[in-house]
Amino acid sequence: MQVNETLSEGLKREFQIIVPSSDVEAEVEGRLLELSKTVKMKGFRPGKVPLSIIRRQYRPSVLGEVLERTIQKSSQKAIEERELRPALQPKIEITDYSDGSDLEYKMDMEILPEIEIGNLSEVSLTRPVAEVDDEKVNDGLQRIADADKKFTKVEEARAAEVGDALLIDFKGTIEGVELEGTSAEDFEIELGSGSFIPGFEDQLIGVKAGAHLLVNVDFPKDYPQQEAAGKPAVFEVDVKELRVREDVTIDDEMAARQGFDNLAALSDKVRERLKAQFDEASKARLKRSLLDLLAERYAFDVPTGMIEQEFETIWAQVKKDLEQAELTFEDATGQSEEEAEEEYRQIAERRVRLGLLLSEVGRQNEITIERDDLLNAALESARGFSNPQQVLEFYRSNPNALERFRAPVFEDKVVAFLTELADVTDNVVDVEELFRDPDEEEAIAKEDTAKEKKAATKKKTAAKPAAKKKAASKKSDDDKSDDDKSGDDKKPTKKKSAAKLTTKPKAKSAKSGAKSAKSAAKAAKDE
């Protein structure tokens, strides 16, 4: 086999590889000989079919198989001999071959960059933390009380108001046909809760017990049942009772309804959950700070193929979300599609660069992922489902399905490793600041900077009009016309901020789930 490197430019490599015809022919003959031992053919005993007949009937298909295997083996050998690390699957193009001649093909690839990690213990980070005090616990208990809704029948004949509940029977039809799941009896609906199709609850405000009415609504376009999505429907509603919400007292009785022995036990659980939420938020903010610092600290070439692949994934999701929201790029971001595309390419490049950096840190420090790590990640994911045990059982019985957790688990382990090395200082902040989106802070900071510059410009040019007027008195009318065109008093055009849709992203993870134009951008940032 002959290998010639025809291009070495940055991360791009190109090779011309020639495999002698004798090697190809030897592989073909060997494969035909194997077939002759097992092939069944009428008129011959198994294994006794002459090789000449086998060659005449099976050579074309065997040749194709051999060429594919030869290219795979020879290209892999060329890569291993040169100790190359391809970023993506190499592109192969056969440049010359005919039966009986040498096999010539071209192999194009991009290799992973060499990354100098350096001393990671020099990194200094600030971790925002919030304390769980009694006031926050009481707020948590109040939220539970607000959600612990209990309604009692109203005897007086008054009209229903927002916040009341109605006990109703209803039956829905689309084009006169009743659809499964659109009918119920003795159903309690809280007016203003938004638990029904948009417009349904609004038409019940002002009704009284005993009322019979028709409610006309349109099912949302993204409604799960395809038969109903986007279609108009008519609901026949019978109002059986008007109910008013009772005030809930935060006491042992309320705690019992939540499944706890007493209020003290419920308070302890609220405190525990709040602490877990605050710790998770602190961890996320610390991770974001670390990734931002790494993005600023490390600059190296990134394979364009990986950037393009990442961009296509992000861009497809963004466009899908915009279509579902029926928005344009201008509506959602204040940008043209071209401007948004350029910004998302920068996001893709950052994500790939951070991914490569974390991967290299993990490789150099022998950070590995065990099966238990994947199972723990699957357990955490399963908690969001109605039947977590069933979901976990699925992952246990399908080891390949666990692989979807490998990348995010590896990322988290590398981030934890880097955090341990770094000098981390805790900074106590209020809850609002802890949960504030860093991108919003960035957008506010940019806006404040722009305002300061604008104010400074106004102050600096405040004296110009008087001087200009004095100079203008010495000029002719034509000169004044020229002065008017000078643009001294023109305001600079302010570029619309893209902060609403996207700023700096985090490294890639498995969680993504954006359901709107704005959340799509957030997914691109936080994944």
Per-domain boundaries in the chain: 2-110, 149-245, 300-435+501-526
Q: What is the mean pLDDT of residues 145-155?
A: 89
Around Cβ 505, how many Cβ atoms within 10 Å? 27
Specify the higher pLDDT residue, 208 or 487: 208
Q: Which helix (H) or strand (E) holds 153?
A: strand 151-153
Q: What is the mean pLDDT of residues 174-195?
A: 89
Give 3-20 pLDDT, tens digit per residue. 999 999 999 999 999 999
Which are the contacts of 149, defined by CB distance < 8 A and separation ≥ 6?
165, 190, 245, 248
Of 137, 126, 499, 128, nearest to 343 by C-alpha is 499
Return the CATH number of the domain spanning residue range 149-245. Answer: 3.10.50.40
Q: How far is CA 152 from the centre of its chain?
A: 44
Task: Write down the pTM of the prediction.
Answer: 0.69
Which are the contacts of 39, defined by CB distance < 8 A and separation ≥ 6?
46, 49, 54, 58
The pLDDT value given to residue 456: 61
The pLDDT value given to residue 465: 45
Tell me how far apart the alpha carbons of residues 253 and 266 are, in angstroms, rounded to a whole number: 11
Q: What is the 3-state secondary structure (H, E, C) of 10-26?
A: CCEEEEEEEECHHHHHH
Give 74-132 pLDDT, tens digit per residue. 999 999 999 999 999 999 999 998 888 899 999 999 999 999 998 888 889 999 999 99
Classify each residue of 95-106 as buried b or exposed e, where b means 16 or more C-beta atoms within 10 Å of its C-beta: eebeeeeebebb
The residues facing 86 across adjacent strands are: 111
State the Cα angle at 443 between 446 and 339, rounded to 5°: 95
- The four Cα atoms 389, 391, 392, 395 give a dihedral, to 10 degrees, of 160
Position 469 pLDDT exceeds 90: no
Position 171 pLDDT exceeds 90: yes
Amino acid at 235: F
Give 505-521 pLDDT, tens digit per residue. 333 332 333 233 334 34
Phi then psi for residue 157, to 5 deg, are -90, 85
Return the CATH number of the domain spanning residue range 300-435+501-526. Answer: 1.10.3120
Position 481 pLDDT exceeds 70: no
Q: What is the 3-state secondary structure (H, E, C) of 294-313?
A: HHHHCCCCCCHHHHHHHHHH
Position 439 pLDDT exceeds 80: no
Q: What is the mean pLDDT of residues 406-414?
A: 94
Tell me how far apart the alpha carbons of residues 101 and 410 are, in angstroms, rounded to a whole number: 48
Q: How far is CA 259 from the centre of its chain?
A: 35
Q: How confident is the model at residue 443 (pLDDT cuts 50, 70, 90)?
A: low
Q: What is the mean pLDDT of residues 259-280?
A: 95
Give 38-63 pLDDT, tens digit per residue. 777 777 877 777 888 888 888 888 89
Tell me how far apart the alpha carbons of residues 231 and 213 are, in angstroms, rounded to a whole number: 20
Which are the contacts of 125, defined by CB distance < 8 A and separation ≥ 6?
286, 289, 290, 293, 419, 422, 423, 424, 425
Position 476 pLDDT exceeds 60: no
How many Å from the N-terminal Cα to the C-terminal Cα in the chain? 44
The tokens describing 202, both together, are: 């609004």
Q: Give the three-class secondary structure for 215.
A: strand
Cβ atoms 380, 373 nearer than 8 A: no
Q: Tokens 């134009």 correspond to what residue? A: 517
- The four Cα atoms 336, 443, 524, 284 give a dihedral, to 10 degrees, of 180
Q: What is the mean pLDDT of residues 499-506?
A: 29
Dihedral sign computed on CA atoms, order 509, 511, 516, 519: negative
Which CATH architecture fits 2-110? 2-Layer Sandwich (3.30)
Q: What is the mean pLDDT of residues 425-438?
A: 91
Quote the percentage of the chain above a pLDDT of 70.
83
